[in-house]
Amino acid sequence: MLVATSSEGKMREIRDALAPLGLELLSLTDIGWTAEIAESGSTFEANALIKATAVAEATAMAALADDSGLEVDVLDGQPGVNSSRFAGPEADDMDRNRILVERLVATGEPPPWAAQYRCVLAYVEPEREPVTFEGVLRGAIVPEARGCGGFGYDPHFLLPERGVTVGEIPLASKQEISHRGQALRRFLLWHKARAAEAARSE
């Protein structure tokens, strides 16, 4: 199965979560994909479908794609679908986190700032209707980075009930609660159920 991402961090999480399927999961990097896929949708679902459809049509293989990001309450849900791009095309995780915190401080609201991670997975097979799966993780943004695990906004994303950021917990714990982990588990259950149904009908 192809996964429409070049992100090593996402691939680690997806391979770990979908290991029970026993499938070889290939990233865009693995297949030498260099074409730009314009994420022109206004929602996470639209962008996930754009990516999965483009890869499935180009390769005639099943493709899984996710679009995910951070929605901060005091910023009216921003950066949202622009989470990986709002700081500019050349920005890295450190730049994005710094600019996000600067914007939040400028609101005058005291930290921590309520927020959520949202993920939508899209699965596309040639000549089949696409399906989508969603996951949401509520939390808050803190001004100081804590922990070096995960990627993206994880070191600033506080889990209030645990008193730690996502950057301070191991991958296995992140998979249990994360927005992407939730969506992947829903996909995993759907895929297993479909395989079981196909086996019964043979």
95: left (phi > 0), else alpha (psi -120 to 50), else beta?
alpha
Maximum C-alpha span of the chain: 63
Mean pLDDT of 172-201: 91
Query: How confident is the model at residue 87, as a pLDDT?
Result: 86
Query: How confident is the model at residue 127, as a pLDDT?
Result: 87
Please state which of the four CATH numbers 2.60.40.1120, 3.90.950.10, 3.40.1190.20, 3.40.50.1000 is assigned to the domain occupying 2-201: 3.90.950.10
User: Average model confidence (pLDDT) for the chain?
Assistant: 94
- Give catalytic status of residue 67 as yes or no: yes
Q: pLDDT for 115-167, tens place per residue?
A: 999 999 999 998 899 999 999 999 999 999 999 888 899 999 999 999 999 99
How far is CA 24 from its chain centroid? 20
Q: How far apart are CA 72 and CA 13, in angstroms?
A: 23
Tell me the percentage of the chain whose pLDDT exceeds 70. Answer: 100
Q: Which of 67, 93, 95, 154 is catalytic?
A: 67
Q: How far apart are CA 78 and CA 191, in angstroms?
A: 32
| pLDDT of 202 over the 80 cut | no
Which residues touch 92 (CB under 8 Å, ≥6 apart)?
Answer: none
Query: How confident is the model at residue 169, as a pLDDT?
Result: 95
Q: pLDDT for 51-90, tens place per residue?
A: 999 999 999 999 999 999 999 999 999 999 999 888 888 8
